[in-house]
Amino acid sequence: MSFENVHDISVVNFFLVVVCAIATSSIAEFATWLIVYRRDEYKTLKQNIENSQNKLNKAQEVYLTFSQQAAHDKKLATIDTALKRFNQEMSSFKMKSTFLIAIFMIGALYTIGSLFSGLIVAKLPFAPISFITGLTHRGLSGEDFSDCAYIFIYVQVAYIWRTNIQKLFGFEAPKSPMASPWGQPPQWGK
């Protein structure tokens, strides 16, 4: 790999892609706040999910005799059903905002793509593996796969920025073991 053509890469284009990613992610997260996070329905659902999850966790930690097990299993099933219902309500509540944000992000990506299509915005210090090359080298001519297109930088910055905004302002949905296909993570140190 050679870095002979590194001077052909515009640092301004790289920073413009980063700024565009930060701006569109911020706008999308602000729109989500307007549509979802600031509403009382969301806050109530979030609290219900957290309460149900806490009840379920406490109920699962209880050790019972064989005669008490049937009633306890019924109680666990009731709490689990309520938790699933609250999670389903949360998903349907967020669906409208997710759809609107997706349309906004597609439009923004199209606009940014028309500005940076065919331009090398970065030079990777490695040649990416084959299935990632489609993202890093998208729209670029040439066979030097260490050349990086705008889309790779945009996707990474937008994802990282949006995740950090959600964590910073507490917009994350409550964590639930049902959200993971692998179930609840092991609890160490209990």
Q: What are the C-alpha distances in Å from 72 to residues 54, 143, 170?
A: 16, 64, 34
Q: What values do phi and psi take at 65, rounded to 5?
A: -80, 170
Name the strand (E) or helix (H) holding 147: strand 147-148
| pLDDT 10s digits, 125-173 | 888 888 888 888 888 888 888 889 999 999 999 999 999 998 998 877 6
Q: What values do phi and psi take at 181, rounded to 5?
A: -70, -15
Taking the C-alpha atoms of residue 82 and residue 181, their distance in angstroms, rounded to an integer, is: 19
Residue-level pLDDT at 173: 62
Taking the C-alpha atoms of residue 95 and residue 89, their distance in angstroms, rounded to an integer, is: 10
Cβ neighbour number for residue 13 with a 10 Å cutoff? 17
| pLDDT 10s digits, 64-109 | 777 777 888 888 889 999 999 999 999 988 898 899 999 999 999 9
Taking the C-alpha atoms of residue 37 and residue 42, their distance in angstroms, rounded to an integer, is: 6
Model-level pTM? 0.74
For residue 180, what pLDDT band results from cuts at 50, 70 and 90? low
Name the strand (E) or helix (H) holding 148: strand 147-148
